[in-house]
Amino acid sequence: MSTTPTIVLVHGAFGDSGMWKGVIAKLQAQGYTTLAVSNPLRGLESDAQYAATVAETVDGPVVLVGHSYAGAIITRAARDASNVEALVYVAAFQPDEGESCLENAARFPGAKMGPDTTVATEHEGEPELRILPEHYRDVIAGDLPAEVTDVLAVTQRSVRVQALTAELSGRPAWRTLPSWAVIATQDNAIPGQAQEFMAERAGSHVVRVAASHAVAISQPDAVADLVIEAAKATR
C-alpha cells in the first residue's frame, strides 16, 4: 500500500473531467497518481455513492477534490470511503447537514446562475439544467478566451435539478477531516462571499485566486499547488 496519497478529482455541473487537464499535468509532474471521476450528475446521494466507490478502489490514502457541485459530493462521499484523508474544495459548495447547493449559492448576492441564464429540459421525468450557451462565459468562465468558452458551452453536461436542491444528509465530512479551499474571487456561479462563509465555517485552509468559477482551467497551477499542500499534510 502506498503512503503517498492518490488525488481523486470530481468535476461539478456544466462540465466534465476534462476541466482537470492542467491540474492533472502538474500533479503528475510532481509524482502524484491521479484519478478523475466521471460524475453522473444525477443526484447528491447517488453521485456521492459513486465517488466513494471510486475512491475505495484506491489502495492507499486519498485526497478527495471537488469542484462546484462536487463539493457537496465529496462532503458526503468521504463518510463512506474510509481511505479519504483530506478534502479540497475548488470554487465549491461546502454544505452543512440539511443544506442544499442552491440554498448556499443564494446565501449572498452575486450569483448569475438563474432563470435568465439557464434552461431546464425533462429527461426520464426529471428536469435537468444547462447554462444557456450565450451566458456560459459570463456565468462560468469569464477569464477564459471566447474561443474556449464557446466549446465548453456546447460540450457542458446537464445536471438534474434535484442534485442541486437535495439537502445534505448526516454529518458533513469536513467536520472530521482536514480541508482546503480555493476561493475564486471573481466567481459568478457561487459568489465569493458564499465560498468564504462556507470555508470559514469548515475551518478550511484557504487560498484566494482572482479567477472565475472555471479556476481549475484558467489557473490550474494555483489549484494544483493547494492540492499538493493538502497531500503533503496527510503524510
- The overall average pLDDT reported for the chain is 96
In the numeric block, the cell 440554498 is attached to 103
For residue 37, what are the β-bridge partners? Answer: 10
Q: Do the strands 118-123 and 179-184 form a parallel or antiparallel pair, or are they unpaired?
A: unpaired
CA triple 166-226-210, angle to 5 deg: 80
* Mean pLDDT value across residues 182-198: 97
Band of pLDDT at residue 125, cut at 50, 70 and 90? confident
CATH number of residue 156's parent domain: 3.40.50.1820
The pLDDT of residue 62 is 98
Give yes or no for residue 18 having a pLDDT over 60.
Answer: yes
pLDDT digits over 161-185, tens only? 999 999 999 999 999 999 999 999 9
The pLDDT of residue 144 is 98
The pLDDT of residue 123 is 85
For residue 7, what are the β-bridge partners? Answer: 34, 63
* Mean pLDDT value across residues 67-72: 98
Would you give the end-to-end CA distance of the chain in angstroms? 13
Is 1 within a domain?
A: no
Is 50 within a domain?
A: yes
The pLDDT of residue 1 is 54
* Mean pLDDT value across residues 61-68: 98
- The Cβ-side half-sphere exposure at 39, using a 13 Å CA radius, reads 37
Is 139 within a domain?
A: yes
pLDDT digits over 40-53, tens only? 999 999 999 999 99
User: What domain range includes position 163?
Assistant: 6-233
The pLDDT of residue 141 is 98
pLDDT digits over 206-221, tens only? 999 999 999 999 999 9
pLDDT digits over 88-111, tens only? 999 999 999 999 999 999 999 999
Tell whether pTM > 0.75: yes
Is 79 within a domain?
A: yes
- CA 82 vs. chain centroid, Å, equals 20
The total domain count for the chain is 1
Is 105 within a domain?
A: yes
Give yes or no for residue 124 having a pLDDT over 90.
Answer: no
